[in-house]
Structure 1
């Protein structure tokens, strides 16, 4: 009996020792794997999760609204020191009430026979500054300010980013890298080479916030100028092509804001980017334009670098009451803003960038992808589909008459195949071709078709109003000369042309969606002011609902 008890205790003791040894081995194995994970990943959290949760980031890519807590997630409260290119300016910025310090970066002797491979903080044409970027960074790293480096030429990028890479462990602050990589309004200055810029960032210093912009110029009258849809789409295409994953900010000049908000809001919405608005001292400040940005962009998505005390104080005072101080046409545009939640995308998944909606506009790029209204309205006394389409010749291709343009379908009962959508088809061609016809309606429905033509304007832009009167449909078209300015939101009183077609009684009046689709890829269509309205007629009154 005693022998059995002794053997049992020995077995228990050996089992405990084995268990402890097993736990120790597993713990050491876990520790080794954890060290490998952190060294490879650059931190405990996965990189994709740090990107989605900016509050958890640590390092140069940190969102400045999380870094500067006193800003209260409001970009208008971030204070900027611009062109901090001298010792005196840097000292004032480091000890002053600034959050972000910006410096211009070129090579010493830039563009001369004495050009060296040493980055300096200076702007053209002053190329002999002795204040090097390394000296500048050595002083900045002792403080808790964020920095923005504005590369004026591509030559300075590689050497500067190599320097940042060597100092990465010393710079635990937000770092923005800026370059004007595309030509903007009235610009005569060459932009920074986008290909070399993105390659160098990816190779030497990918952990940053990318600030991208357009070069701009001066003109005596900028009332009709702005960042056009072509300029904005060029930027979007670059970001998609280079698969940019860094936090993005687009830098724009206040003087060209008035006619650019729909384009810029669309760009920021589709790329989950922010906007930085800066002013030039040579520009006449327009307070309504400042309020326009504040009104359209949420506080956490808009930054303001104003070197004008009047603008800064006005922004500080009225930022959260901006609706009361915008141009009246801004409020008029509110009535026709595109509602992306009222439509769903259908078509080929591989064409995921072919439909790009925001609260301002919708961009259609491919006939293989189209949008379908979520609501399936019953045919009532009167149904209106209103909107505006702006055709862009992005590929410099000739349009095909009767084919290149936008198709709009009513009473669609089959639309799963983009090549065989059924219903009443309203076609608006780039060259002014107009048509109402039945498409894929079956043998039991008589054919119907009516054509017309409207003289196209220089803007290749049309405003349409399509009306379903149960047994008759009407398409009214205005050819517009302007689709870009804020003033273009105003409607003309008379239509240029109107088409009417009687609908066969065999065509069903059930609940069907409405569909918009490009017929080929020779144009890109920007669609806005899209609005479905139903009017119910009664003996006593008329009710109108907007969807």
Structure 2
């Protein structure tokens, strides 16, 4: 009996040892794969990250897909169940500028100032259930500080292993009659203080009226933005209203040439008139990795088809 017990104990110890070895190897492999993924960090390059996770094949901003306003829980669930690569969501504070203001960052686009989803809950869901990139669009300077602290906590806990873009319109742009931009100095100071390891997405406020004589971005607007960001360490993408981009292309081409850290994100309002011809012009006068295309259908598919057709013809 004693001998049988001895073998049983020895067998049990052996099994435990095998399990321990398997777990150690698995943990080592997991840590190694995370270490090998240089872009799997909040300040990582979005294109490199999407390549490393197998979502795109090469560094081309046209391959990236986006989901807008993944804010309240139903919108977030739809975004999480989709095959888009990057989630864009809006952050403000609960009860903004009312007696009910709490200072809690929530997922809502003004004029909405309440939501069934806080930023903390949103991050928990997105980080647990997806590998999608993150773009947070700040609609109030009041939301920036507490939101960056949440991001810092998640990063320090080792959970935020993907690129994060921090977005705000910090300068006045074309056709906007009143000043509504987020204070640039305050915004950039908060980022440097609380969460510097991210990509900055810095834009201009804009107003576009279809079929009206809309003005475009001026040289002064582009130069002022460059002065704000030229000494910053972060990668910077500049959100540019696609309907106005072609007319101001000499300015934006100059801006892109100032630093390898810079890119543009062409975006489209729901009623904006964007032409494939203008998009092709920009595509032909920039590198594929310099421009992201955050556009609506059907213009996006039409544009992609022409780009692919041209690419196929050139290869042939």
- TM-score, normalised to structure 1, is 0.47
Once the two structures are superposed, the pairs formed by residues 196-215 of structure 1 within 5 Å of their partners are 196-215=186-205
What is aligned with 2:162?
A: 173
Once the two structures are superposed, the pairs formed by residues 241-320 of structure 1 within 5 Å of their partners are 243-272=231-260, 273-306=262-295, 308-319=296-307
Q: 1:113 to 1:322 in 2, by over 3 A?
A: farther
Q: Indicate yes or no: 2:143 matched with 1:156.
A: yes
For residue 221 of structure 1, report the CA deviation from its aligned partner. 4.6
For residue 222 of structure 1, report the CA deviation from its aligned partner. 5.2
Task: Note the residue ranges of structure 2 that are not aligned, 5 or more in a row.
Answer: 1-35, 312-316
1:147 to 114, 127, 134: 134
Q: 1:57 to 1:310 in 2, by over 3 A?
A: closer
Q: 1:208 to 1:167 in 2, by over 3 A?
A: same
Whole-Å separation in 1 of the counterparts to 2:259 and 2:116: 39
Whole-Å separation in 2 of the counterparts to 1:287 and 1:249: 22
What is aligned with 2:43?
A: 61
1:19-55 deviation line (CA, Å, top 9, x unaligned): xxxxxxxxxxxxxxxxxxxxxxxxxxxxxxxxxxx97
Q: Which has the higher strand share?
A: 1
For residue 149 of structure 1, report the CA deviation from its aligned partner. 0.2
Whole-Å separation in 2 of the counterparts to 1:224 and 1:94: 36
For residue 164 of structure 1, report the CA deviation from its aligned partner. 0.6
1:434-469 deviation line (CA, Å, top 9, x unaligned): xxxxxxxxxxxxxxxxxxxxxxxxxxxxxxxxxxxx
Q: Which has the larger radius of gyration?
A: 1
What is aligned with 2:227?
A: 237
Whole-Å separation in 2 of the counterparts to 1:251 and 1:220: 20
Q: Is the 8 A contact 1:161 1:205 kept in 2?
A: yes
Q: 1:255 to 1:75 in 2, by over 3 A?
A: same
Once the two structures are superposed, the pairs formed by residues 38-117 of structure 1 within 5 Å of their partners are 56-69=38-51, 70-71=55-56, 72-117=58-103
For residue 320 of structure 1, report the CA deviation from its aligned partner. 5.1
Q: Secondary structure at the match of 1:173?
A: coil
Q: Which has the higher helix share?
A: 2
Whole-Å separation in 2 of the counterparts to 1:55 and 1:66: 9
For residue 224 of structure 1, report the CA deviation from its aligned partner. 5.8
Q: 1:213 to 1:132 in 2, by over 3 A?
A: same
For residue 203 of structure 1, report the CA deviation from its aligned partner. 1.0
For residue 264 of structure 1, report the CA deviation from its aligned partner. 0.8
1:194 to 176, 184, 196: 184
Q: Is the 8 A contact 1:154 1:197 kept in 2?
A: yes
Whole-Å separation in 1 of the counterparts to 2:272 and 2:214: 15
What is aligned with 1:517?
A: none
Whole-Å separation in 2 of the counterparts to 1:55 and 1:275: 24
CA RMSD of aligned residues (A): 1.9
Task: Note the residue ranges of structure 1 that are not aligned, 5 or more in a row.
Answer: 1-53, 324-547
1:132-164 deviation line (CA, Å, top 9, x unaligned): 000000001112111000001111100100111
Whole-Å separation in 2 of the counterparts to 1:115 and 1:269: 43
For residue 220 of structure 1, report the CA deviation from its aligned partner. 4.8
What is aligned with 1:30?
A: none
Q: How many residues align?
A: 267
For residue 283 of structure 1, report the CA deviation from its aligned partner. 1.4
For residue 57 of structure 1, report the CA deviation from its aligned partner. 4.1
2:124 to 138, 141, 144: 138
- TM-score, normalised to structure 2, is 0.80
1:357-401 deviation line (CA, Å, top 9, x unaligned): xxxxxxxxxxxxxxxxxxxxxxxxxxxxxxxxxxxxxxxxxxxxx
Q: 1:271 to 1:322 in 2, by over 3 A?
A: farther
